[in-house]
């Protein structure tokens, strides 16, 4: 039976180069204090032996753990997984976060946390103690939770807050949801629609209110009344169906509807079909998120494309650049969203 090849470790490199473990670690971490000739000597041993640095070796060079922890909403993420509905938001977050971490020699670790849990403080402190992350990425609704924000500040950890403008410490990043909703509304107004319904997300997400603001500002700028055209869901398929039914039951129903995520948009599409409404001939639809099920729907649906991967990538880069500084951004970093039009919008009947 063939013996498993022994992995090359930092000890092998140190022995080959005739230096200490700490010196190898400083070279691995690109410490500017290492003499050029020593740097070349250790690097030659690394190349000869085929050594791949481990996080443990990197940690020896200083106080960094080379881990960034991302906190995502437990209840909603698990519900989507169990329903096999896809978690494109989560996937895009991982894409941007993992690739950018890898560029800097970091690893991204994800923890699912219930922001409403009575034990959230204990859970977070346990995760921080076990992982000792250099930074934390907060996604909605955690990014606006004062308890979490203050806990991370007290721990002295650099952190980024995606989708929150709540006052407080941390690096804030947004996807300009207000402008995104306005762009979607303006597109429908340009097509000639005046009865444009909007299905908002739950109030615990700050972006829900921003999207309503964008829709409402575009409607008001066009001199169009919107008093009865707002319905509220919770991002679930069932809530989208209820909200769509509310809008379509109006004495003068909308000729177009914008829904705040893909599940509520699909529910609206299904309800329209049941009522013999043809999209887009009888009802135009625009979604947020632009997940695969939106693109593969019949007809393919127009959608706001949220730059989740880009925002998470920027969050990682800013955390690494800010380690130790604990920067509070006065102006949030804004990454614009765009509207992709497909076959679900047309002039009103």
pLDDT tens-digit map of 58-100: 555 556 788 999 998 888 888 878 877 667 888 899 999 999 9
Reported as a single tens digit per residue, the pLDDT across 199-224 is: 999 998 999 999 999 999 999 999 99
User: Exposure pattern of 281-311 as b/e (b: 16+ CB <10 Å)?
Assistant: eebbbbbbbbbebbeebeeebbbbebbbbbb
Look at residue 230 and tell me whether its pLDDT is greater than 70: yes
Give the dihedral sign, CA 59/63/65/68: negative
The structure tokens listed for 303 are 């959608």
Q: Does domain 10-59 have CATH number 1.10.260.40?
A: yes
Output the 3-class SS for 288-333. ECCCHHHHCCCCCCEEEECCHHHHHHHHHHHHHHCCCCCCCCCCCE
CATH 1.10.260.40 in the chain is located at 10-59
In words, the CATH class of domain 177-305 is alpha beta
CATH 3.40.50.2300 in the chain is located at 67-175+308-334, 177-305
Contact present, 235 and 173 (Cβ < 8 Å): no
Name the pLDDT band for 3 (thresholds 50, 70, 90): very low
Q: Kindly report which listed range (73-77, 162-166, 314-318) carries the lowest average pLDDT score.
A: 73-77
- Calculate ∠ Cα 141-256-189, nearest 5°: 95
CATH code given to domain 67-175+308-334: 3.40.50.2300
Name the pLDDT band for 36 (thresholds 50, 70, 90): confident
> Which residues lie closer than 8 Å to 169 by C-beta, 6 or more apart?
149, 152, 153, 159, 326, 328
For the chain, percent of residues with pLDDT exceeding 70 = 91
Average predicted confidence (pLDDT) for the chain: 88
Residue 158 belongs to what H/E stretch? strand 158-162
- For every residue of 74-98, DSSP letters joined together read HHHHHHHHHHT---HHHHHHHHHHH
- Calculate ∠ Cα 95-100-101, nearest 5°: 105
Q: What is the pLDDT of residue 227?
A: 85
The structure tokens listed for 185 are 């509304």
Please state the rounded mean pLDDT for residues 296-307: 92
Q: Kindly report which listed range (1-5, 61-65, 143-147, 246-250) carries the lowest average pLDDT score.
A: 1-5
């Amino acid at each position: 039976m063939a013996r498993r090849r022994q992995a090359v470790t930092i000890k092998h490199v140190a022995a080959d180069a005739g230096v200490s473990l700490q010196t190898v670690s400083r070279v691995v971490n690109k410490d500017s204090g290492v003499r050029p000739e020593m740097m070349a000597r250790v690097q030659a041993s690394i190349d000869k032996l085929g050594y791949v640095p481990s996080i443990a070796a990197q940690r020896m060079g200083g106080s960094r753990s080379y881990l960034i922890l991302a906190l995502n909403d437990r209840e909603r993420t698990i519900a989507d997984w169990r329903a096999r509905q896809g978690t494109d938001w989560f996937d895009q977050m991982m894409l941007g976060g993992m690739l950018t971490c890898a560029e800097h020699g970091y690893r991204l670790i994800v923890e699912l946390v219930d922001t409403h849990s009575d034990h959230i403080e204990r859970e977070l402190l346990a995760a921080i103690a076990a992982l000792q992350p250099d930074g934390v990425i907060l996604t909605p609704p955690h990014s606006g939770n004062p308890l979490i924000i203050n806990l991370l500040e007290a721990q002295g950890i650099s952190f980024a807050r995606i989708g929150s403008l709540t006052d407080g410490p941390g690096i804030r990043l947004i996807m300009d949801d207000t402008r995104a909703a306005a762009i979607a509304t303006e597109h429908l107004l340009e097509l000639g629609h005046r009865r444009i319904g909007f299905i908002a997300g739950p109030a615990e997400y700050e972006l829900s209110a921003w999207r309503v603001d964008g829709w409402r500002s575009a409607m008001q700028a066009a001199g169009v009344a919107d008093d009865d055209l707002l319905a509220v869901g919770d991002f679930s398929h069932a809530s989208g169906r209820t909200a769509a039914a509310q809008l379509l039951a109006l004495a003068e129903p909308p000729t177009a509807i914008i829904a705040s995520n893909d599940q509520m948009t699909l529910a609206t599409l299904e309800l329209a079909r049941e009522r013999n409404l043809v999209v887009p001939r009888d009802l135009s639809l625009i979604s947020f998120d632009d997940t695969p099920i939106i693109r593969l729907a019949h007809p393919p649906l127009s959608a706001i494309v949220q730059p989740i991967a880009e925002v998470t990538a920027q969050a990682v880069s800013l955390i690494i650049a800010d380690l130790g500084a604990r920067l509070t951004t006065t102006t949030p970093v804004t990454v614009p969203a765009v509207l992709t039009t497909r076959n679900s919008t047309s002039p009103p009947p």
